[in-house]
Amino acid sequence: MKLSSASVSLRSRLQASSMLAVLAGFALVVLAHRELLDRSRAQRHRLAADQVRQELLQLSPTAGPAEFQAKLDRLLTPGRVLWLELEPGRPYRWPRRSATVSQRVKLAELVDTVKRRCIGYNHLVAFTVGGRLYLCSSQPLSFSGRPALLRVVEDISADLERRRIVLLLLLAAAGLSSLLTSILLRLVVRQTLMPLDQLSAQLGRIDAESLEQIRLSGTGQPEELKPIVAAFNALLDRLSAARQRQQAFVDGVAHELRTPITLISGYAQSLQRQGHPLAGGPELELIAREAERMGRLVRELLDIAREEAGRLQLGRDPLDLDEALLTAFERLEPLASARLRLRIPEDGSPPLGLGDSERLQQCLTNLVENALKYTPEGTPIELFSSTSASEAVLHVRDHGQGVTLAEQERIFERFVRGSSEANASGSGIGLAMVRLLMRRMGGEVRVEAAPGGGADFQLVLERVQLSTSAPLA
């Protein structure tokens, strides 16, 4: 059991949320810094423009052009251009260029741009000329009794460059902080989720055999997990009690059924041996056959109960698989209406596998009965063996409809039958019993598509080399 899922794990969500919070915080800092710089620059420009206007207003009303120009020259500061206009767009006198205004910018172009862009009073307008960014404002004045306009133009390119450097520093700090935050978050999240990992490990150790013994420990768990641990332990208690009741029921029913079935089968066989008038008819033979089938079904139910209780034990002895197939063929051929085909093994050493002889015959019986039940009348059922470097395999191959890829695993579950078997009779535990027994023998059962159509059921055992094998069971 893992905390992560196919979508997004809790750990990833916590880390992503924290990282987004850090990045969002830096983004807000950058935006706030930019806004504050813009407002501060605008405020400084307005204060400078008001100061220039106040200085000019202090001149005598009868002051001439020379006094105004001299005053403007004294107020000229680096990065700033000042001039008066008696008519829009026509400076009274061409302004002087301050030290920090780019020499590449033509004053005529600058004045023309101001005329077009800087309209109205007390409005700040930003524009670009010659690759430089300027900020402009206009102030009303009275010049020699005539209305005039004071133009204040400031080169703010240097401010923008400083702001760009600060922004780069903030981005670098954001990247470094994100890296450190990611490392710290990984450690913190791992430490925080460690109780969940420990709880997951405890859950992974619980299986059918340990359901009654193992309970989750709440010692050292966070307060948030203790109710979950208590609820899960209560659920395990209920599951354990239900499983015990189920096992007791199945065990009891199987034992109760076994006695009358044994009596029916015994009396039917006795009547057949004694030459009863019904011995040659189909009725007595049907009774004996169905009693045997019911007895086998009861034994399988008992085996399932023993398996769930951990009491089912099987042997693992070297077996001659060709001999096992021959035994199954001789036993089942009378019931198969001449449909069974036993392939003659090739010359050479017989294939050997580790298994339980009696239980292997039970598996072969279930597979042959399954093939007889769910394949058309008259189609052959083949029995043969094969080997690989590490496996010895018994094949029961039919020529029916086959098993779809989606059902090749599902048909081995209890009380499940394939989609093509909906109208057929059966308990639904035959193939499940085969899987249970094969796994107890250290092998497996699988099904593949047969060449030419049909299903190839394979009983796979661990192969035993003849040179190292023990005496055959």
Q: Are 119 and 21 members of one domain?
A: yes
423 has pLDDT over 80: no
Residues 20 and 150 in one domain: yes
Domain assignment of residue 362, yes or no: yes
Q: What is the mean pLDDT of residues 118-144?
A: 82
Q: Are residues 295 and 358 in the same domain?
A: no
Indicate if the pLDDT at residue 77 is higher than 80.
no
pLDDT for the residue numbered 325: 94
Among 38-42, 117-121, 305-309, the range of highest mean pLDDT:
38-42
Q: What is the mean pLDDT of residues 334-352?
A: 82
- Please state the rounded mean pLDDT for residues 293-317: 79
The confidence band for 214, taking pLDDT boundaries of 50, 70 and 90, is confident
Q: Is the pLDDT of residue 264 over 70?
A: yes
pLDDT at 398: 94
Say if residue 356 is exposed, middle or buried (CB neighbours under 10 Å; 0-12, 13-18, 19+).
Answer: buried
Task: Specify the CATH number for the domain of residue 249.
Answer: 1.10.287.130
358-376 pLDDT per residue, tens? 999 999 999 999 999 888 8
Helices 430-440, 282-308: axis angle to 10 degrees equals 50
Residue 219 lies inside a defined structural domain of this protein: no
Banded pLDDT at 437 (limits 50, 70, 90): very high
Question: Which band of pLDDT confidence, cut at 50, 70 and 90, is reported for residue 443?
Answer: very high
Q: Do 459 and 393 touch, CB atoms closer than 8 A?
A: yes
Identify the pLDDT of residue 365: 93
Tell me: do 296 and 368 sit in the same domain: no
Determine which of 46-50, 258-262, 272-276, 283-287 has the lowest per-residue pLDDT on average: 272-276
Domain co-membership, 154 together with 17: yes
What per-residue confidence (pLDDT) applies to 385? 93
In which element (H, E) is residue 83 found? Answer: strand 80-87
Structural domain containing residue 406: 317-334+350-468
* Sign of the C-alpha dihedral computed for residues 204, 205, 210 and 213 taken in this order: negative
The mean pLDDT value for 129-134 works out to 85
Beta strands in 144-227 (DSSP E): 146-155
- 262, 298: one domain: yes
**Percent of the chain clearing pLDDT 90 (strictly above):** 17
Q: How confident is the model at residue 64, as a pLDDT?
A: 67
Predicted pLDDT at 421: 52
> Looking at the structure, do residues 442 and 327 belong to the same domain, yes or no?
yes
The one-letter amino acid code at 223 reads E
Closest CA to 251 of 300, 302, 294, 307: 302
What's the CA angle centered on 209, arms 195 and 256, to 5 degrees? Answer: 145
Prediction pTM value = 0.51
pLDDT: which is higher, 439 or 53:
439
Least confident span in 206-210, 223-227, 341-345, 430-434: 206-210
Is residue 447 in some structural domain? yes
Residues 149 and 140: beta-carbon distance below 8 Å = yes
For the domain that residue 60 is a member of, what is the CATH number?
A: 3.30.450.210
- The domain total for the chain is 3
Confirm whether 340 is domain-assigned. no
* Of the residues 163, 179, 202, the one at which a domain ends: 163
> Is residue 217 in a domain?
no
**Residue 360 lies inside a defined structural domain of this protein:** yes
Short-list 120, 125, 156, 113, CA closest to 139: 120
Q: Examine residue 393 and state whether it is found in any structural domain, yes or no.
A: yes
Which one is predicted more confidently, 160 or 422? 160
pLDDT tops 90 at residue 354: yes
Let me know whether 247 and 373 are in one domain: no
Give 196's pLDDT tier (boundaries 50, 70, 90).
confident
pLDDT category at 284 given cuts 50, 70, 90 is confident
* Same domain as 239, residue 142: no
CATH number of the domain where residue 428 is located? 3.30.565.10
Amino acid 243: pLDDT: 76
Beta bridge partners of 317: 355
Please give the residue that has the higher pLDDT: either 239 or 304. Answer: 239
Domain boundary among 163, 181, 215: 163
Could you tell me the pLDDT band of residue 327, with boundaries at 50, 70 and 90? very high
Average pLDDT, the chain: 80
- The pLDDT value recorded for residue 394 is 95
| Domain boundary pick from 144, 163, 182 | 163
Q: Are residues 323 and 271 in the same domain?
A: no
Are 293 and 322 in the same domain? no
pLDDT on residue 7? 44
181 found inside a domain: no
* Residues 272 and 355 both lie in one domain: no
Task: Label residue 57 by pLDDT band (50, 70, 90).
Answer: confident
pLDDT at 270 over 70: yes
Q: Which residue has the higher pLDDT, 355 or 24?
A: 355
